[in-house]
Chains A and B, each alone.
Chain A
Amino acid sequence: AQSVTQLGSHVSVSEGALVLLRCNYSSSVPPYLFWYVQYPNQGLQLLLKYTTGATLVKGINGFEAEFKKSETSFHLTKPSAHMSDAAEYFCAVTLKIYNQGGKLIFGQGTELSVKP
């Protein structure tokens, strides 16, 4: 079965510093990978996704992530943190199981704090 592990439930950075949120997955077949952001009392918004092709994917708000198959990782980065980036971030995986419903499995989330 597939699973997702996010390293660090809380990450704190200073405004302007690099943001690095870690995600590792386990999957028996090639996965689709996603990062979502959640602001308080709201639903989840898709930041970026990896399906096939280029392993470095760019998303909204200046975020990007790199799929590394050898490391089974999909870490999220942003070169310079902004106060508005403070939120909870979720990594998710789904399997490329053709002709089946499949399901999205989420990590436990990482709360990002940005200090002025």
Chain B
Amino acid sequence: SQTIHQWPATLVQPVGSPLSLECTVEGTSNPNLYWYRQAAGRGLQLLFYSVGIGQISSEVPQNLSASRPQDRQFILSSKKLLLSDSGFYLCAWSVRHRGANTEAFFGQGTRLTVV
């Protein structure tokens, strides 16, 4: 069966420090991968999605970047965190069925607090 691992679960970082959140998927190949952010009291904002190794689409201009060095690994990074980067970050994956996306499966999330 497929599983998704996302870590760490919680993170407190000072302003200006770097960030690296990692997500890996097991039990499937060539998934679509996503990073979402959920700010307090708000919905989910799609940050990045990837349809293959090295293929990253950015949805919003921001202080963050994403990389996909392996088929089932998706990394969210920042060189210098801002206070506004605080939030709940969710990694997700989906597969294409007959060329179209099916539902997404989510990791347990990372609660990032920038202080």
Query: Which A residues have a C-beta under 8 Å from some C-beta of B?
Result: 32, 34, 36, 41-46, 49, 51, 90, 92, 94-109
Distance, CA A81 to CA B33, complexed state (A):
34
Query: Which B residues have a C-beta under 8 Å from some C-beta of A?
Result: 6, 32, 34, 36, 42-44, 46, 49-51, 57, 59, 88, 90, 92, 94, 96-109, 111
- Residues from chain B with Cβ under 8 Å of A106 in the complex: 36, 43-44, 46
Smallest beta-carbon distance B34→chain A, Å:
7
Distance, CA A13 to CA B98, complexed state (A):
40
Could you tell me if B90 and A43 are in contact, using CB atoms closer than 8 angstroms? yes
Given known pairs A103-B34, A104-B46, the reply for A98 and B109 (CB within 8 Å) is no
Which residue of A44, A45, A94 has the most chain B CB atoms within 10 A of its CB atom? A44
- Residues from chain A with Cβ under 8 Å of B103 in the complex: 32, 34, 46, 49
Given known pairs A43-B90, A43-B107, the reply for A104 and B101 (CB within 8 Å) is yes
* Closest chain A residue, CB of each to CB of B46: A103
Could you tell me if B111 and A41 are in contact, using CB atoms closer than 8 angstroms? yes
Q: List 18 A-B contacts (CB under 8 A).
A: A41-B109, A43-B107, A44-B90, A44-B92, A45-B106, A49-B103, A90-B44, A94-B94, A95-B100, A96-B100, A98-B99, A101-B50, A103-B49, A103-B57, A103-B101, A104-B34, A104-B94, A109-B42
Could you tell me if A98 and B101 are in contact, using CB atoms closer than 8 angstroms? no
Distance, CA A97 to CA B51, complexed state (A):
13
